[in-house]
Amino acid sequence: MPNADQNDILFERARAVIPGGVNSPVRAFKAVGGTPRFIRRAEGAYFWDANDKRYIDYIGSWGPMILGHGHPAVVEAVQKAVLEGFSYGAPTEREIELAEAILALVPSMEMVRLVSSGTEAAMSALRLARGATGRKHIIKFEGCYHGHADALLVKAGSGLATFGHPTSAGVPPEVTQHTLVLEYNNIAQLEEAFALHGNDIACLMIEAIAGNMNFVRATPEFAARCRALCTQHGALLVFDEVMTGFRVGLHGAQGVLGITPDLTVLGKVIGGGMPLAAFGGPRAIMEQLAPLGPVYQAGTLSGNPVATACGLATLKEIARPGFYEALSKKTRSLVDGLKAAAAAEGQPFNADSEGGMFGFFLMNELPQNYAKVMTTDNAKFNALFHGLLDRGVYIAPALYEAGFVSAAHSDEDIAATVEAARQIFKASQPR
């Protein structure tokens, strides 16, 4: 079968041995339809699928590949680390070096604990917040994703400032009974929640620039009120910067907003594509962790020597003068180009970006919460996704996911992406 689609063949094999054929649900293309692309290799701003078709990559492993794929300095660091050993289960100097590098760039953090995934980091930060405050309740927001820990897989309750309900089978209601789910950017609802439950709230966890309902910013007023209410009521403000940390700027979303959280959750970029994440904050809070304090957290592969080498090399490159100015310019060029292409063809469209992270909506205004995001035209997005895919442009296979530009993307890549979108917008308009 010389003309057989290798992606179809691989997907059939995968579905026989892996639930849904994928090891993370969004990869299955269930939201957009069609067969997922199985990637064989990547370089710079591109990857190639099982048919050896090249795509301009705007997911970048969902954020980590800020330098592009296979940056020479990162590859060299990883190769050297591999030759020294894959894993030891014992401390290394490189863990200290990475911790020092992170703390130097995130002023709100005085100590940091390395882990292996964003879910693990968010789950551990949540446990630490409860342990440090002696309280049970937490606040999160609709549309913000903090990994698949049970207490965070929850949708909004039936009324204002009521506790949420599980969104996954296997999560008992008792596990989410202390989770308040509020509307993003709704100050009145936030104030009511603290008025009703403030003395029992351990922490408020938020993506200050959300990337899991596409790209939605917390307004400066909303972010400031989150900080003020947490301070007033003795709750901890936790910024989930798994996606935004070192992606929207050298100091993350907290640097963009000028807000100092009590705890910060990091991932993606700090591992450079390897499984590595972290959480950290002031010394007094972090010293509540074992082996110093009563809050237990552990991980066999935490601080993995190959992952820390990858992360250190990545942080060194992005800290170079002018890196974020150039990256932001590229991302803004993409966003502005897409907006102009849509406007030229009469397609409702709006977009936003910060640093190397962007999002777009097939509507005329930028939404400020999940409910508004949900009004996006799914069918039009799916047509745009597959149209771009056919033209060699790979964006997230779901309209609720942000996109990512890397330092490896060229002006030609961006121009080709904009032109592909323009063709699709033009073809979609009634004549």
Annotated catalytic residues are 145, 240, 268
**Residues in the chain, total:** 431
The answer to whether 395 and 58 are in contact (CB under 8 A) is yes
Q: What is the CA radius of gyration of the chain?
A: 22
* The dihedral sign for the CA sequence 195, 196, 199, 203: negative
DSSP annotation of 283: H
The residues, any chain, with a CB within 8 Å of residue 362's CB and separated by 6 or more, are 347, 348, 349, 376, 377, 380, 381, 384, 399
Neighbours of 244 (CB within 10 A): 28
- Residue 362 phi/psi, 5-degree rounding, is -85, 60
Token pair 């996606």: residue: 243
**Residue 392 burial (CB < 10 Å; 0-12/13-18/19+)?**
middle
Q: How far apart are CA 145 and CA 207, in angstroms?
A: 8
The residues, any chain, with a CB within 8 Å of residue 359's CB and separated by 6 or more, are 211, 214, 215, 216, 351, 352, 353, 402, 403
